[in-house]
Structure 1
């Protein structure tokens, strides 16, 4: 497909988003609107919009491409084993809805990390907020990186545009439409982008099935009968990182950490009037999330069917992340290509715009103390917020460029691996606060949050390779557990009173 056609679509797409931003922020662009949308968001819009934020371009490209990947040292492809992880995600979402959300609403939080200050102490609070800033910046940068390399390969390489400029333009456009309206704008744009995402995945299935000469019913039957549809891996608990128990346990705790302890997705839940609406939102979102991931896995199976039928040499692509765009943009007609780009752009930017808003909120509340100011909507504070928003955009650019140099695996694998290291201490901190009544040695918390990931890294790099155990998504559990144990061992042993407990 011509790069001109793809670029024209992206320009029109962003023009629509900028139009939404203008209309949602023209009456109010203060900090209350930016941070929590004045706490009057509709739960059904948030639930629907969260699909795009949670899935991202990683699910859109990397999950389908990973269906036919075979991890090192194993003989069988991944197939649909990722769905085991999705089932763990669903359990994690239920825990968030009925354990974490009641806590956050009871305390009337804007930043969820202020819980750590009330329960554990000032330095624990700052440590938790800092972990989020690092974790979300890296995770969102990785997600944007995926769409950037696709845009670079299939559009901008044709004109010799450098990769750094491709990423910079993406971030500038995202900054423009989120800068004023913040969360109020994001809720509307995420709803729009989720619609595009869901349309894209359904229509992609249709067009690939049509290209193979199948009806939709025949396509799903072919997928069902193929080896790709294998979901559960019961054997080899130690040696296979895709074993069902590793995937489900990892899925539960990755979800709790990356969603329930993450300001980004929780900020949307806190924008609703009541806890009941927030819980309804989470449960609705969970059901859609599970179903749509099945569709993405079906897309993956069809991609490999199509590649095999048309003699596409996957090895020449460099990585499986390029399989979906390769087929959509170079082997199908113009309409499927545009639909693919619509879905990819919607999925990735829905994640990045939301993340930039959440990062800005966390920094302004947790480090600049906007929530403690006499007038949080002071024009000087709004200007300061704008600079913070811009600063995180620049930081994300730097992370993407670094990742571009060092990454040699599928993005979905890289994201969850990094999350295991960065979100683990956050999981340990919140678990200690919620599950125990003990105090912590607040002065040691930051050091513990640094030491725990280092210990896990040394374990995975220098100890586990000499054993039969292959670690998977459950990495985050071990990291959180080490953090929890160190907090317990360094605890002064005092127990908080019921009046102190949150």
Structure 2
């Protein structure tokens, strides 16, 4: 596959993306940018959200993960489905009742300004790191496929990418994102299904033989009940999936502002439940694709890369399959990452403008628009700088550390929301930031002690411990005479 073909595929996608963004967002005001005017049809929101939780990292990582983890990820996906129910029937009614633009306005109403700013800053740091990492991954792939041969440095690649992301989200915000995420879902799922078709055909399987091969493969094991200390143990992954979904979707401004763009709570609930069913099927298909990618690599005599993330690119681009498979891979990767970056930039702009600057309360419509545009541009520039930091300093350990730090930030959010919703206790709110910072530190210490002293590996359930430390800390801050 030539660099010209890659550029042509990316350019075609970008052209369609800008057309969709312009058509959907050309009349958007501030309410359209922040909430989509709460007029999004629930079925359109559900279709958009199928790909909303996925990115280019998901596209390359999930298929490759079957070599080390089999289908154990499905244990967590089952937990996701339960977590979606909690989001739909507990959080959605609350947020609609309060008419919030930013989720973290709830913390202000419940505890005060310190809790509000704490939640907003934790989201901001986490989302900035995660979104920048997603863009860095696709920039690195495009650098290898195209820009190195053209003599373009990665800083130019990253700056141009973020310029385009800023341009297509500048006007429409959430109102545009629903439709561009629908385009992302079409490209992502379409690339997945067509790639699966071509790989199965290249292996010479009928569909019945392909299904039998997956069932018999040792890579397709789903349930792990044998070792409670393992990170793949069923109950650890299942319950972690519930809390991870609640925290990283229900308490995430990026994800929820699209769900809250529906006209009514009932529409938002229908959207969320349909999304849960569809995402389960899509993730299962990604894992099935991973089985066939390894089967094809073995049959074709391909040397497997050191990192499992490289298996999909290796087979799709250099595996001797039809050129259309490589193009499908590029389109899937780029669509997943661009949409995720645009969604993150919009959510960051919303949270920073509403929560941290408080512009929605103190500015008129024209002033709010001016502040929003300035914040949007500044955050796009900041994301570019973070991407360049990844290029300068990133290795596997740093990237893994960033993901852990990003996941830690949702623990205090989960703890604060749980404490606020499950109790009526009042706390000394000025000390909430100290509790929110201490909880991840105590969680990291607990993880280290259990691993070194007991040989017990804390997996994704670390989020739960993080939230529990936050709740315990807030109990220490209770105003005893105001219970």
* Correspondence list, 1:53-132, <5 A: 53-69=52-68, 78-132=69-123
Instruction: Report deviation, 1:62.
Output: 0.6
Evaluate the alpha carbon distance shift between residue 44 and residue 197 of structure 1 in structure 2; reply closer, same or farther with a 3 A threshold: same
Q: Which residue of 1 aligns with 2:10?
A: 10
Identify which of 366, 389, 394 aligns with 2:376: 389
* Correspondence list, 1:125-164, <5 A: 125-164=116-155
Aligned partners of 2:397 and 2:244: how far apart in 1?
A: 20
Residue 245, structure 1, aligned to residue 235, structure 2: yes
Q: SS where residue 100 of structure 2 aligns?
A: coil
Identify which of 325, 330, 337 aligns with 1:348: 337
Q: Which residue of 2 aligns with 1:220?
A: 211
Instruction: Report deviation, 1:468.
Output: 1.4
Q: Which residue of 1 aligns with 2:461?
A: 474
Higher mean displacement: 51-60 or 96-105: 51-60
Q: Which residue of 2 aligns with 1:74?
A: none
Residue 297, structure 1, aligned to residue 287, structure 2: yes
Identify which of 363, 366, 369 aligns with 2:352: 363
* Correspondence list, 1:70-469, <5 A: 78-238=69-229, 240-314=230-304, 317-331=305-319, 332-373=321-362, 375=364, 377-378=365-366, 380-404=367-391, 405-408=393-396, 417-461=404-448, 464-469=451-456
Evaluate the alpha carbon distance shift between residue 179 and residue 266 of structure 1 in structure 2; reply closer, same or farther with a 3 A threshold: same
Aligned partners of 1:104 and 1:494: how far apart in 2?
A: 29
Instruction: Report deviation, 1:25.
Output: 2.8
Evaluate the alpha carbon distance shift between residue 338 and residue 269 of structure 1 in structure 2; reply closer, same or farther with a 3 A threshold: same
Aligned partners of 2:385 and 2:481: how far apart in 1?
A: 44
Q: SS where residue 55 of structure 2 aligns?
A: helix
Instruction: Report deviation, 1:30.
Output: 2.1
Relative to the length of structure 2, the TM-score reads 0.96
Aligned partners of 1:463 and 1:308: how far apart in 2?
A: 39
Q: SS where residue 396 of structure 2 aligns?
A: coil
Aligned partners of 2:363 and 2:167: how far apart in 1?
A: 28
Instruction: Report deviation, 1:253.
Output: 0.9
Relative to the length of structure 1, the TM-score reads 0.92
Q: CA RMSD in A?
A: 1.8
Q: SS where residue 222 of structure 2 aligns?
A: coil
Q: SS where residue 190 of structure 2 aligns?
A: helix
Aligned partners of 2:195 and 2:50: how far apart in 1?
A: 18
Gaps of 5+ in 1: 70-77, 497-502
Aligned partners of 1:250 and 1:151: how far apart in 2?
A: 34
Count of aligned positions: 481
Instruction: Report deviation, 1:322.
Output: 1.5
Q: Is the 8 A contact 1:220 1:298 kept in 2?
A: no
What do residues 92-115 of structure 1 show as CA deviations (whole Å, max 9, x unaligned)?
111000111111011111111111
Q: Which residue of 2 aligns with 1:499?
A: none
Evaluate the alpha carbon distance shift between residue 215 and residue 152 of structure 1 in structure 2; reply closer, same or farther with a 3 A threshold: farther
Instruction: Report deviation, 1:443.
Output: 0.9
What do residues 241-262 of structure 1 show as CA deviations (whole Å, max 9, x unaligned)?
1111111111111111110001
Aligned partners of 2:125 and 2:58: how far apart in 1?
A: 22
Aligned partners of 2:368 and 2:468: how far apart in 1?
A: 39
Gaps of 5+ in 2: none
Q: Is the 8 A contact 1:144 1:348 kept in 2?
A: yes
Which structure has the highest helix share of the two? Answer: 2
Higher mean displacement: 89-98 or 390-399: 390-399
Q: Which residue of 2 aligns with 1:25?
A: 25
Q: SS where residue 458 of structure 1 aligns?
A: helix
What do residues 21-70 of structure 1 show as CA deviations (whole Å, max 9, x unaligned)?
222233x242111111111111111111112221112221111111113x
Q: Is the 8 A contact 2:359 2:371 kept in 1?
A: no
Aligned partners of 2:208 and 2:390: how far apart in 1?
A: 40
